[in-house]
């Protein structure tokens, strides 16, 4: 399939050939859902913690005698039904992360890329860099492609100057072509991809992607 390549000024330059097995797949909503939930679970800190009645600081003595007061029986002030007492079955620190099959992850990324192509949300831009590293320069360039809505910029490599310029734009996320995240791609209203990154994705996620993936690690 062919896709247009735009200049930094937003003008059409040429077309590029995209692999149908990467950018032309039918939409698989299930695998997208599993991939996004896997990423969110792996990012959870899982450090919420509460104290039970054995850990709460306080006296073990009965607050008042068992009988004769007309009040309910109390064992100690650390009882879960007392204010300031322990918590019953409260959260404990835990690891929420789990693994997902590599083939399913790759399928999710390819499905999302295909979805963005079908919805005309993906634009391929000629390779560029921000030598100054200034946010103003990058924001001016991006204004030719997006009105400031949630956008993902797919890079061809780890360009430190470009990442420095993008770090202060709140609605912009940047990803390297070999480290794509399903959550960012799916929820990005616009996906801007450098031309070399698109070519690399053809081989990285294409049918013969084993050697390319190993080389990128």
pLDDT confidence of residue 206? 78
User: What residues have CB less than 8 Å from 31, skipping those under 6 apart?
Assistant: 104, 107, 108, 111
Q: What is the pLDDT of residues 90-134, one digit of tens each?
A: 999 999 999 999 999 999 999 999 999 999 999 999 999 999 989
How much of the chain exceeds pLDDT 90, in percent?
76
- Token pair for residue 4? 């247009």
* 134-138 long-range contacts, CB within 8 A, separation 24+: 134/165, 135/165, 135/166, 135/167, 135/168, 135/169, 137/165, 138/162, 138/165, 138/166, 138/169
pTM equals 0.82
Q: Which fold has domain 2-29+108-216?
A: Ribosomal Protein L4; Chain: A; (3.40.1370)
pLDDT confidence of residue 210? 54
Helix (H, G, I), strand (E, B) or coil at 12: strand
How far apart are the C-alpha atoms of 52 and 68, rounded to whole Å? 29
- Average pLDDT of the residues in 152-159: 90
Q: Residue 55: pLDDT above 60? A: yes
Strands 122-125 and 2-6: parallel
- Average pLDDT of the residues in 59-86: 91
Which of 43-47, 51-55, 204-208 has the least mean pLDDT? 204-208
Q: Residue 209: pLDDT above 70? A: no
Work out the widest C-alpha separation in the chain, in whole angstroms.
Answer: 92
Helix (H, G, I), strand (E, B) or coil at 24: coil
Tell me the sheet residues that pair with 122: 191
Helix (H, G, I), strand (E, B) or coil at 107: helix
DSSP state of 72: P
Strands 151-155 and 122-125: unpaired
pLDDT confidence of residue 148? 85
How far apart are the C-alpha atoms of 47 and 49, rounded to whole Å? 6
Average pLDDT, the chain: 90
Residue with tokens 């008042």: 64
- Average pLDDT of the residues in 155-182: 92
How far apart are the C-alpha atoms of 124 and 203, rounded to whole Å? 16
Q: Residue 213: pLDDT above 50? A: no
Q: Residue 215: pLDDT above 90? A: no
Q: Residue 34: pLDDT above 50? A: yes
Q: Residue 47: pLDDT above 70? A: yes
The residue ranges of every structural domain in the chain are 2-29+108-216
Q: Residue 211: pLDDT above 80? A: no
């Amino acid at each position: 399939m062919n896709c247009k390549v735009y200049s930094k000024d937003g003008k059409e330059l040429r077309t590029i050939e995209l692999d149908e097995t990467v950018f032309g797949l039918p939409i698989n909503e299930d695998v997208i859902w599993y991939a996004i939930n896997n990423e969110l679970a792996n990012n959870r800190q899982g450090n919420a913690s509460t104290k039970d009645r054995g850990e709460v600081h306080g006296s073990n003595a009965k607050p008042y005698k068992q009988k004769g007061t007309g009040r309910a029986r109390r064992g100690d002030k650390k009882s879960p039904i007392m204010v300031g007492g322990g918590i019953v079955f409260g959260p404990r620190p835990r690891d929420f992360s789990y693994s997902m099959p590599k083939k399913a992850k790759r399928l999710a990324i390819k499905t999302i890329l295909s979805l963005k192509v079908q919805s005309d949300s993906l634009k391929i831009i000629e390779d560029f860099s921000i030598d100054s590293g200034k946010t103003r320069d990058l924001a001016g360039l991006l204004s030719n492609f997006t009105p400031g809505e949630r956008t993902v910029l797919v890079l061809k490599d780890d360009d430190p100057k470009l990442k420095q310029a993008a770090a202060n734009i709140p609605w912009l996320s940047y990803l390297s072509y070999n480290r794509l995240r399903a959550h960012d791609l799916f929820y990005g209203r616009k996906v801007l991809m450098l031309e070399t990154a698109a070519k690399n994705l053809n081989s990285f996620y294409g049918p013969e992607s084993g050697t390319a993936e190993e080389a990128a690690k």
